[in-house]
A = this chain, B = another copy of it.
Amino acid sequence: MSDTGVSVKKNEDFSEWYVEVVLKAELADYAPVKGCMIIRPDAYAVWERIQDILNEKIHRTGHRNVYFPMFIPEAFLKKEAEHFEGFTPEVAWITQGGDTPLEEKLAVRPTSETIMYDAFSKWVRSWRDLPIKINQWCNIVRWETKATKLFLRTREFLWQEGHTAHLTAEEAEAEVMYALGEYRDIMENYLAIPVLVGVKSESEKFAGALYTTALEAIMPDGKALQMGTSHNLGQHFAKVFDIKFIGEDKAEHYVWQTSWGITTRLIGAMVMVHGDDKGLVMPPKVAPVHVVIIPIPFKGAEPEAIAAKAKEIADNLKAKGYSVVLDDRQEYTPGWKFNQWELKGVPIRIEIGPRDLKQGQVVMVRRDTGQKTPVKDAEIAASVDALLHEIHNNMFAKAKALLQDKTSVVQSYEEFKQVVEEKGGFIKAAWCGKPSCEAKIKEETGATIRIIPFQKEEPTSGCIICGQKAKDTAYFARSY
């Protein structure tokens, strides 16, 4: 394989394989600033696709996009104590404008609750002003001290943050679940990544929230990845930022709030879950290119006729709404192009050679399985459509099998420790609900509670640490 291909096998050195795929498939590049990254066109196109999908969903339900300043006064962050403690250790601070030191240093937003809710307190007067349902796509900075990793943990990343304020606790609860449901749809039905959903434990919840719900996926190395969160903020911030309204009952009430977000780390998850030793495998519903067409000219054949047919197929598929690349570059061989587009994960390759021309067909190659099928000219569009669906379904099924394979149930702490070390993945274990037992597990094994499922799963033992009556079956894992 050429030096442009992936040199490491996924199941031999997963971490190195991941970095190679991201760099060589040109999804991202390292930036000159430590812990930051450059998001290149193919990855940014996936992000834009996620933006379009989510925007369409949330606009339909009355949410509107906005933009709030990136700079947050230190005093704002301090207002909610838990929030301040949770975020200040990783805040980047602006202390100087031009040559002049600032009077009050400014935080670069690690999240926008505080600056947004200060505005909410001005905007909300009466029940008529509610609900507020806004969303923001922006950059976020968290000055990580842990090792960073492209897409998964960088000091600057892109995300969306939905922020809402409601008349009642019930409305806020419904909103939390609404966002979670839309996220799940994006992850499973677009990115082809199955997720577990549930509630975080107190120690893992968002700093300042009443409770946090989350979506968690498992990576092939057995580590969990938090894919998105949706927080019920209760009235915590409303009380701190004084967001009150006069109700229809003429009395004064605090609003009930939610916030929810997904980030560019979803792109990292997509690479990890679906990629293989040849490189990326793009889920068809977010792929920047659906089909690459590669003419295969031979000496003595009819290059013009092949070129004309390739062009016609490309135009026809484009007219049907597919994103198509006709790679007719002369300076590269077909074999080189195959490798290149496999590295980039394009779901379908169409090859057209002299024999295909004669037989009124093309050869269609699936990226996910490598399977080659001759397809009659008249059936190309229908086959592309069917195949893209099939590829999505197959990718999801494979990822689902991985999730099932990487989920274990244990009855004791001994067993727990053994699974953590030898297999990883999600470990379902009985937990009494005490933070001390949770903390012991984290300290000794590195595994944390990823979620407690909404559908209570009856514990099959006492708490694996203290042996007392278990409150929940929790899903533990080591995580990114």
Contacts and interface: CB of A to CB of B under 8 A. Distances in A.
B64 A39 contact: no
Interface in A233-291: none
A41 B96 contact: no
A64 B41 contact: yes
Contact of A106 (B33, B71, B105, B134): B33
B105 A71 contact: no
Number of copies of this chain that the complex holds = 2
Given A70-B156, A90-B97, 18 more contacts: A29-B119, A31-B68, A32-B76, A41-B65, A44-B65, A44-B67, A45-B65, A47-B67, A70-B141, A88-B98, A92-B97, A93-B96, A93-B97, A94-B94, A94-B108, A95-B95, A95-B96, A139-B139
Contact of A44 (B36, B38, B66): B66
Interface string A92-123: 11111111000001101000000100110010
A325 to B, nearest CB: 12
- Counting chain B CB atoms within 10 Å of each CB, the highest count among A70, A122, A158, A331 belongs to A70
A128 B31 CA distance: 23
A200 B307 CA distance: 46
Contacts of A90: 97-98
Contacts of A331: 128
B115 A69 contact: no
Given A33-B106, A115-B31, A143-B98, A45 B73 contact: no
A96 B89 contact: no
A406 to B, nearest CB: 32
A32 to B, nearest CB: 6
15 contacts: A31-B68, A31-B119, A33-B72, A33-B106, A36-B71, A38-B119, A39-B66, A39-B68, A41-B64, A48-B65, A70-B139, A93-B96, A94-B108, A95-B95, A95-B96
A6 interface: no
A88 B69 CA distance: 21
**Main SS of the interface on chain A?**
mixed
Contacts of A91: 97-98
Nearest to A68: B38
Interface of A: 29, 31-33, 36-41, 44-45, 47-48, 64-73, 76, 88-99, 105-106, 108, 115, 118-119, 122, 128, 134, 138-139, 141, 143, 145, 155-156, 158, 331
A394 to B, nearest CB: 29
Nearest to A96: B93
A90 B99 CA distance: 8
B32 A73 contact: yes
A171 to B, nearest CB: 19
A31, A48, A106, A158 pick with most chain B CB within 10 angstroms: A31
Contacts of A115: 31-32
A73 B35 CA distance: 13
A200 B16 CA distance: 50
Contacts of A128: 331
Most buried by B among A45, A48, A92, A141: A92
Given A33-B71, A64-B44, A94 B97 contact: no
